[in-house]
Amino acid sequence: MRHSPHLSARRHVLQKAPTGIHGIDEITNGGLPRGRPTLVCGSAGCGKTLLAMEFLIHGALEYAEPGVFIAFEETADELTRNVASLGYDLELMGEQNQLVVETIHVDRSEIEETGEYDLEGLFIRIGFAIDSIGAQRIVLDTIEALFSSFANEAILRAELRRLFRWLKERGVTAIVTAERGNQALTRHGLEEYVADCVILLDHRVDDEISTRRLRMVKYRGSTHGTNEYPFFIGEHGITVLPLTSASLEYEVGDERISTGVAQLDEMLGGPGIIRGSSMLISGTAGSGKTSLIATFVDAACRRGERCLFMSFEESVSQICRNMRSIGIDLVPWIDQGLLRFSTQRPTAYGLELHLMSIIEQVHTFQPRVVVLDPITNFSAVGTTSDVKAMLVRLFDLLKSQDVTLCCTSLTEAGGDAEHTDVGVSSLMDTWILLRNIETHGERNRGLYILKSRGIAHSNQVREMIMTSEGIKLVDVYLGTGMILTGSARLLAEAQAAAELAQAEARSERRARDVERRRRVIAAQIAALEAELAADEALWQEEARQEAIERRISQTLRHSLRQERHSGMHGEIPSSQVRLDSDD
């Protein structure tokens, strides 16, 4: 992609010498022009010497190209001390013939000029230094010092021109440093002699924040980035950040990692979040963002993964102390080298430098988890779009390396909770919202999962409780259309229990009532049935008597009729006697 196909004559394409400095090789598509001098200019203190020295150190250590550093201003001791802070040992490199520092000191006051001369002595010294270790790289820092040493500028300029031609003929890749001039790039017009590649370093202060910037003014025969690229001098030297390096092309995995809170993992479908994804925890002040993130970090360290914790608000000792109160001890992880804290005030320097500082630490520490706590503080050093642009690049970079990113975002009290000040929520894979739920004179913490890409996640609100054994999530009390937390939840739960008991008692009493009524009614039924039976018995008796009487009267009428026919009356008293005995 970097090499266009029509560049078929690859052999004739400019050969390049990689600098080994993060970013510069990307901007220059491979490094500085090999075998030619490059001019690095800039004002005092903008990092010229360091850039040049790194060019030599990386060249010697990484590309097996020994180098010579010709120092006109600093002594070898000073240079050795300066780069020792970056972790390089110039003395050792000198012993191993990787890098030679040659100090050239000239004091004009002790020199009298008495006729024609040339700088063959300088050539011989440089040549001797190059030959002594077979150097392929050389730095002249800064050759302008010669202008204050020699009165005859005409001779000097002629000799400089000869020097650069001579260096080219020798085929060494050279860096020549020079001070920035008022009008021209350099104070003494060195760009006139070094025509191939010019790098300008700048150190500006905008809004009280100083930023170093690098620009390729010129690179003959090569494509190169033309922007101003911010750079950063960290504990491992210079890092330049090419703004365009981030892209959306990266592999994603589906490994899941725990958040450290079992109940939260459950809400996230069981195993937790996806490795290499990004998680945002937003919430108002005091909603427990840092505690939740520290739990996550603790869990990662337990798995033996390295974590980089960028804290923009609290100091290391403060965080460690605070987390001990919820039963999380981060100190052992720091001691074991699993956890690295980086505490910086966001206003300490510009956005770009923050980004580069993070990137540099990611490069050197190789963490699996990176924490930014909180990202909202960046709005103090940049506009929302700047902050977002920076974070996008960071997210892309981390994702491309399968690093899990976790950041917190502070929501202003009273603001819309589902809104982050830096507008990054759309970039995040998982968004956990912590909300203070204020009821009944207390604040409690509610936890929601607003989204979690690629994970079936709970839509429930949980109450987050901080105990001395860590963070716990409990179900909130859901009843009568509202959620209750804290003591209100406890109260509501107790009330519910009491109500249940009461209801049970009521129902028992009711059952007893019914039973009693059933028994009463049963008794009444029995009584009525008895009454009915009695009525029936009476009715049958009456019916029998009626039948008897009817029979008697029939008999009587029959006998009367017979008597009328025969005139006899004697049998009537006997039937009367029988009736009486029956009664």
**Residues in the site for other proteins, rule: CB under 8 A?**
102, 104-106, 110-122, 124-125, 127-128, 146, 149-150
Of 149 and 460, which has the nearer Cβ to other proteins? 149
Cα(551)–Cα(566) distance, rounded to whole angstroms? 22
Of 111 and 195, which has the nearer Cβ to other proteins? 111
Least Å distance between CB 97 and other proteins? Answer: 15
Cα(361)–Cα(307) distance, rounded to whole angstroms? 11
Q: Using CB atoms within 10 A of its CB, is residue 30 exposed (0-12), middle (13-18) or buried (19+)?
A: buried
- Cα angle 321, 324, 329 (rounded to 5 degrees) comes to 105
Cα(310)–Cα(314) distance, rounded to whole angstroms? 10
Contact at 8 Å (CB) between 41 and 177? Answer: yes
Of 124 and 527, which has the nearer Cβ to other proteins? 124
Q: Integer distance in angstroms from the first to the last C-alpha of the chain?
A: 133
Of 115 and 567, which has the nearer Cβ to other proteins? 115
Least Å distance between CB 403 and other proteins? Answer: 50
Least Å distance between CB 78 and other proteins? Answer: 17
Least Å distance between CB 102 and other proteins? Answer: 7
Helix (H, G, I), strand (E, B) or coil at 25: helix
The values of phi and psi at residue 507, to 5°, are -70, -35
Least Å distance between CB 105 and other proteins? Answer: 6
The values of phi and psi at residue 431, to 5°, are -130, 115
Least Å distance between CB 193 and other proteins? Answer: 17
The rounded radius of gyration (Å) of the Cα atoms in the chain is 49
Of 117 and 539, which has the nearer Cβ to other proteins? 117
Of 109 and 426, which has the nearer Cβ to other proteins? 109
Helix (H, G, I), strand (E, B) or coil at 22: strand
Least Å distance between CB 354 and other proteins? Answer: 45
Of 40 and 146, which has the nearer Cβ to other proteins? 146
Read off the amino acid at residue 65.
Answer: E
Cα(461)–Cα(448) distance, rounded to whole angstroms? 5
Count Cα atoms within 13 angstroms, Cβ side, for 181.
Answer: 11
Least Å distance between CB 150 and other proteins? Answer: 7
Of 82 and 149, which has the nearer Cβ to other proteins? 149
Of 143 and 417, which has the nearer Cβ to other proteins? 143
The values of phi and psi at residue 314, to 5°, are -115, 155
Contact at 8 Å (CB) between 277 and 453? Answer: yes
Q: Which two tokens stand for residue 221?
A: 């025969």
Cα(55)–Cα(65) distance, rounded to whole angstroms? 10
Least Å distance between CB 174 and other proteins? Answer: 18
CB atoms within 10 A of CB 553: 10
Of 114 and 480, which has the nearer Cβ to other proteins? 114
Least Å distance between CB 257 and other proteins? Answer: 60
User: Which one-letter DSSP state was computed for residue 15?
Assistant: P
The dihedral through the CA atoms of 88, 29, 23, 201 has a sign that is positive
Least Å distance between CB 115 and other proteins? Answer: 4
Cα(90)–Cα(56) distance, rounded to whole angstroms? 11
Of 51 and 104, which has the nearer Cβ to other proteins? 104
Q: Using CB atoms within 10 A of its CB, is residue 481 exposed (0-12), middle (13-18) or buried (19+)?
A: exposed
Cα(141)–Cα(49) distance, rounded to whole angstroms? 7
